[in-house]
Amino acid sequence: MTVHPTARITEAEKKVILTQYRELLKAMRPQLQKGDRRLIRLAFEIAYDAHRNMRRKSGEPYILHPLAVAKLVASEIGLGTIGVICALLHDTVEDTEVTLQDIEREFGKPVAEIIDGLTKISAIFDKRGNIQAENIRKIMLTLSKDVRVVLIKLADRLHNLRTMDHMPRSKQLKTATETSYLYIPLAHRLGLNQIKTELEDLVLKISEPKVYRMLERKIRESREEREKFIQEFIQPIKEQLDRAGLKTRVFGRLKSLASIWRKMKAQGIPFEEVYDKFAIRIIVDSPPQTEKSDCWKVYSIVSEIYRPNPDRLRDWISTPKANGYEALHTTVMSHDGRWVEIQIRSERMDAIAEKGYAAHFLYKGNEYYRADSRIDEWLHRIREVLENPETNTLDFIDDFKLNLFDEEIYVFTPKGDLKVMPQGSTVLDFAFEIHSDLGKSCIGAKVNHRIEPISYRLQNGDQIEVLTSKKQKPTEEWLQLVVTAKAKSVIKAFLNSERRRIINIGRNALEQIFKRKNLSFTPANLQPVLDHYGIASADELFYSIGIGNFKLSSIDDFEVKGDRLVSKPREKTTADIELAIKNKLLSNANLWVFGNDAVSVDYNLAQCCKPIPGDDVFGFINKNREVEIHRTNCPKAINIISKYGYPIVRTKWTRQHKIAFLTGIRISGLDDVGVVHKITNIISGDLKMNMQSISLDSKDGMFHGIIKVFVNDTEHLNQLLEKLRMLEGILQVSRLEELPQTDGQETMAESVSFSGQAGTLGLPR
């Protein structure tokens, strides 16, 4: 967070700081070894002295931030003394006169290396907000060598998000998008469930404050009823577990607001219809030798009291998740007809579930603890890919992030070795997982002794023997067949190498043409060709020549004047005139950015989330100096901003013309005679809306469909949703979060209403 020097620390503030320091030592007490207290005190004194005259935006002394991060590291992650020392010192090298040499002299090389890694993480974005690809490569390599760097950074990010109220809205949104893009997936992959959950809720609070407040209110209003149900539900379970002589803790735990909101959006249902807002957790206090059998005993007792859903049993005890998570999950029917999720774990499994990879430091040396080896494999793969100089770091981050939340499947090599793969993996993914060279030459596989193509999607329990050919090589189409970051990275590296070879062929061919025409092969002579054909770069031109798309005879369209190549005069085409007319029409709607001394710039209403007047929106300035307007919960905008670091601007709707904006509605209900007539009568008759299309599918007495209509604003849309919900036989109606793409040409109404360059913004100078 931004800091500024100010007045010295007051006596009252010193008392607060001392209290926080004592609480840190109290949290550390179970882990302290001889000499640890002295080292922690030294780290605190160095940090206190270095940050003595610095304050946060809230006005509080800056030292309270590293103290809070250290406390998180000690109590919620459990890293131990080295982690706490690094947390206390994590901002000193970047913000103060303390050097890495000072830290290494006082605390040793391991601490200095972690601080160095934390300092590099702070430099992901430059002053303009653009991502520094080489810094990300260093960060990910640091992660793969010492994961404590990212564990401390996650604690740092969590405390920053907890204290964002004093920061400007643009800074809040930028921090939230970074968190969604990289830190939440990393927390998930490292098994830090507690931290991941809070990060998700804090991001929701920033990006969709209205939704967050609504969910908070609903949770508060239903608290008494929920707690009464939980107590009545777990009472018979407790009694039976006590009779069986099992030492357990049984309690209900509310799920995160973000996960409840995801279910509401995915299923198109209101808060009241989300059945699994909480889960019952049963923690068994068992020694490692009997913890598995004791968990199954608990499951047996629970299933005798409540009827389980056989399709909802998840056994992550026999085969833990790749992030080390171990538990039994089942869903049972309560006596009053409600489905309830139950999670069964041992105390050791619970520590791993909450602290993830950090629990490795608590259970290291325990032969029954296997989570660290799985994650160590994953970290090794990151290192292997990133140490390849051909790897494009930003592409890798995108692909790698996609795999972080994936469900997993378990497959076997011909010798019976278990491999954990993301769900949806193909034979090709498996081949690259074994070895890069095996993947490049893969032509198929024997899956359970049957020949299958490279596109075959693996199933749980498959045994795979990869088949290869020396003549095989990767193609562009392979990128559509694989899902793992490693496979995509290796394929892209090969294709880039092949592309460079073709570019050199095209360059040499064109250079020969220029020589025959006695022309210098210079950028000045290449530019007229690029401009004439609308080609983005010289490399694109060379590549087109290399693969035969661009005919060298096309150079005859140009004249040679002296030592310069000049394009012949070219008249404007019909397409040019149509584009000019279209851009003139697209100046009806207006959005404005807060700020004085504004100038007008073009803006685009994003096609991915289709914002309409009344939506909470924000904009970012792209590389063309245009402002792209997205809804604040748009996942694509989050990814774009995080990847390229575009500046964010605060936006609001001002003058709203009666313009139609295309949006989509998902609807389902009982299939009845005349249902389409009832729906269209409300849209076209009652509300006088224009409808682009309606698509309904009927099966087993139910229908599901999507309607695309033109609305003026969110009030107009909500009016339609309410009227449709009141129709007899309609079960669910909700707005589509992302409008499906349609084929064919846009209508004039669409073009004027919401296509690119839809208006102007006032942008601060």
Which residue stretches of 146-290 are H helix?
148-162, 169-178, 184-189, 193-207, 209-221, 223-243, 257-267
Q: From the candidates 94, 102, 146, 539, which is the catalytic residue? A: 94
Please tell me what DSSP assigns to residue 329.
E
Side by side, the strands of the sheet bearing 691-699 are 691-699, 702-711, 661-670, 730-735
- 464 and 360 in contact (C-beta within 8 Å)? no
106 is catalytic: no
CA 534 → CA 390, 540, 715, distances in Å?
Answer: 29, 11, 43
CA pair distance 279, 274, nearest whole angstrom: 12
Q: From the candidates 13, 60, 95, 102, which is the catalytic residue? A: 95
94 is catalytic: yes
CA 270 → CA 350, 663, 730, distances in Å?
Answer: 31, 20, 14
| Two structure tokens written together for 694 | 């309606």
CA 307 → CA 19, 239, 252, 299, 349, distances in Å?
Answer: 50, 17, 19, 11, 25
- Those residues with Cβ within 8 angstroms of residue 682's Cβ, 6 or more apart along the chain or in another chain: 720, 723, 724, 727
CA pair distance 180, 186, nearest whole angstrom: 10
| Two structure tokens written together for 413 | 């090599």
CA atoms within 13 A on the CB side of 117: 25
Radius of gyration of the chain (CA): 30
CA pair distance 662, 750, nearest whole angstrom: 7
Side by side, the strands of the sheet bearing 464-468 are 450-452, 442-447, 464-468
| Two structure tokens written together for 447 | 């899956």
CA geometry: angle at 249 spanning 245 and 251, to 5°? 135
CA 598 → CA 593, 760, 764, distances in Å?
Answer: 8, 11, 5
Residues forming the active site: 94-95
